[in-house]
Amino acid sequence: MSTIGIIGGSGLYKIDGLKVKEAIKVDTPFGQPSSEFIKGELDGREVIFLPRHGKHHEINPTKINYCANIYGMKKLGVDRIISVSACGSLKEEIKPLDFVIPLQLIDRTNQARQHTFFDRDVTVHVAFAHPFCDELSKVVADSLESNNLKVHLGGIYINMEGPQFSTLAESNLYRSWGADIIGMTNMAEARLAREAEICYVTLAAVTDYDCWHESHDTVTVDVIIENLNKNVENAKKVLRSAIPAISKTRKCSCADALKHAIVTRPEAVSKEAKERLSLLIGKYIK
């Protein structure tokens, strides 16, 4: 049975229509996740929900324990993750209240976020040329279209550090690179999801133009929050229609991402490391 994980970003702290079964506290070898995981059922599909910033948005993007969050999803049987994320637009044609399904990422974080499960004992070089699952991205994009919402399928997501927003010079630099949207959370999630052999897609909700836009001085926090709330309501509709459409079996390469990625010889991996990482490497290193 395929289990679908939903990671909620700014403004998304619960899912309408989710029949909640239990709240689960998950211990991981990487510390504590952002919150308890909410297990429930949505239109006949098992769903695990986690608010990445905590129940009350108390965790800033740099301080999120991404390893614990993704490991917890894996431990609970999740094999697909839809990440709902607020973002700023770097292009005129991508307007506030639009949605973007990016297919590429650029990392501009600088404070050593934990981006891998394999920082010691086992060396793993996972393929990451295409950081998002194409199959899952298509399902979510189709759901946006079926709900008559403006969707841009494709494009580049810049992951900045935060919590401050960009300088004008940075914003113009990212535009010169051809980037489409900017956010603060998705790179670490995507990398770790790939290491955990979980399909991952970002449902990016545009709240504003980044500071490059000539109208940025007229955009207030109130306007951004208003757009955020509208986007969250639309994102909930998209999740309701996307989740039943997700195939119960996977044909993509995400499911075997570690198959040719583990460099360390099995006999060189310690018993402790095998036990600590068994959830991730157990099917390859006994």
Q: Which residues are catalytic?
A: 208, 210
Length of the chain as a residue count: 286
Query: How far, in Å, CA of 124 to CA of 266, rounded?
Result: 12
Between helix 186-195 and helix 66-75 the angle, nearest 10°, is 40
Rounded Cα distance between 177 and 161, Å, is: 17
Q: Is 258 left (phi over 0), alpha (psi -120 to 50) or beta?
A: alpha
- The answer for 110, left when phi > 0, alpha when psi is -120 to 50, beta otherwise, is alpha
Burial 144-171 (b: 16+ CB within 10 A, else e): beebebebbbebbbbbbebeeebeeebb
Give me the residues paired with residue 7 across strands.
50, 83
Element (H, E) at 234: helix 221-245
* Residues 211, 197: Cα–Cα separation, whole Å: 36
CA 249 to chain centre: 21
Strands 78-89 and 199-209: parallel
HSE of 156, CA atoms in CB hemisphere, 13 A: 15
In this structure, what token pair is assigned to residue 231? 């986007």
